[in-house]
Structure 1
């Protein structure tokens, strides 16, 4: 059964050469139960609300299987939160999730898949070095994007919670199909 490996929130705002001047991509796992509400994980922030956050992008989920792929590609450990994600999940192909799909986490919280993550220059700067050059294209081409989620039912979750598929609209595009269309 799919499970939640970590719940992450911003660790520190970091200086960034983009238009906002800071980034909140540096997310790290939180201990214990964590509240998830309509606008996302408690204690999390977004530096650029124009492109992140809000009800349709309240939570960003990324799969451990995709993180493992990138860890091998980049030759370094990529712990939960490294992709700027709020939820690191295991055993769930996030990119094959259908838009409108509903997941229940820990028996209480319900989230709905709304759209794929679109990689940006801030993410490329976060990756850094030679790996950061061409990162947006490379990340996009590989199709290991992760998904944004809206929160349908608020509550608390914690690492180790089971993730259950509640419903999936069979004809809807997958996260990856939506990104590539």
Structure 2
């Protein structure tokens, strides 16, 4: 299991951004050399945990439990075949592009050591938005209906991560799973529960202590309304 690239993006003004500023940092590109990863502060206040990476919409991105976003190269390859266009590392706005790691099968609360210093903890999966769709259209893709298409795809949403141990990472670093909690809620399962199979939401609360705040709120609200 390997880190193929570390990707960062600088904020720019675009017509398709959903942020109040009209800016987005979704256009991420691989970075040469080591990159610092730190806990960025609480949700809604802290931005990206990756040095040099801009987050513009703090409602849905950044903060302690959404500090880093990882996506598997294997899933990018699947989308390449489906979309008929080459997708470079970082094309889906991910900070970390991995190889050989089951990103979507990771358990909520699972911990990964990357290189010698950094430990990250899985908190959830990406919920797609119109900014994501607009970014792909800017790359020259036919992304009509992208939010629904990505949500329902078998490839999976990729993993959101919090920083447990800060430090530096770089392309080529090994990735090791160092902890797996005692439950069965994966990134893929939580994503389905939050989007297309809401009846699964109460069962995801066994992973509440590790779950990112936005998805946790959705799960709790559903359970309170409809029962476990």
Q: TM-score range by the shorter chain?
A: over 0.9
CA offsets, 1:22-70, max 9 Å, x none?
2211000111011101121101111101110000000000000000000
Structure showing the higher helix proportion among its residues: 2
Unaligned runs of 5+ residues in structure 1 are none
The count of aligned residue pairs is: 180
Give the alignment of 1:32-111 within 5 angstroms.
32-39=33-40, 40-111=49-120
Name the SS of the counterpart of 1:151 in structure 2: strand
Would you say the 8 A contact 1:4–1:90 is kept in 2? Answer: yes
More strand by share: 1
- Please state whether the residue corresponding to 1:95 is helix, strand or coil: coil
Q: CA–CA distance in 1 between the matches of 2:18 and 2:101?
A: 34
TM-score for both structures, normalised by structure 1: 0.95
Deviation of the 1:172 alpha carbon: 3.7
- Cα root mean square deviation, aligned: 1.3
TM-score by length of 2: 0.76
Gaps of 5+ in 2: 41-48, 194-228
Partners in 1 of 2:171 and 2:82 — Cα distance?
Answer: 26
Which structure is higher in RCO with an 8 Å CA cutoff and minimum separation 6? 1
Q: 1:23 to 1:16 in 2, by over 3 A?
A: farther
Find the counterpart in structure 1 of residue 165 from structure 2.
153
Correspondence for 1:133? 144
Runs of 4+ in structure 1 off by over 3 angstroms are: none
Q: 1:62 to 1:170 in 2, by over 3 A?
A: same
C-alpha separation between the residues in 2 aligned to 1:54 and 1:79?
26
Q: What's the secondary structure of 1:42's corresponding residue?
A: coil
